[in-house]
Amino acid sequence: MKNRIRIERAILDITQAELAEKIDVSRQTINAIESNKYVPSTVLSLKIARIFGKRVEEVFELEEND
């Protein structure tokens, strides 16, 4: 699964730590998601999308091998 979190963060101009605080997770979690080491749960994906004011599909995208 691909995601646009890093780009969306840049648009809002917030750091990993600030995003983490807004959705009540650790900074390590945001970092792991951004570097494609961890696929977030549906709840967390919805929370992340809400912060960016977008739909989940606009932030997360399936890849060929998914």
Is 40 a binding residue for another protein by CB under 8 A? The answer is yes
Q: At what angle are helices 5-12 and 27-34 packed, to 10 degrees?
A: 120
Number of amino acids touching another protein (CB under 8 A):
15
DSSP-assigned letters across all residues of 8-24: HHHHHT--HHHHHHHTT
Q: Of 35 and 65, which CB lies nearer to another protein in the complex structure?
A: 35
Stretch that binds another protein, among 7-15, 37-45, 56-64 (CB under 8 A): 37-45
Stretch that binds another protein, among 4-12, 35-43, 48-56, 58-66 (CB under 8 A): 35-43
Give the bridge partners for 60, in sequence order: 3
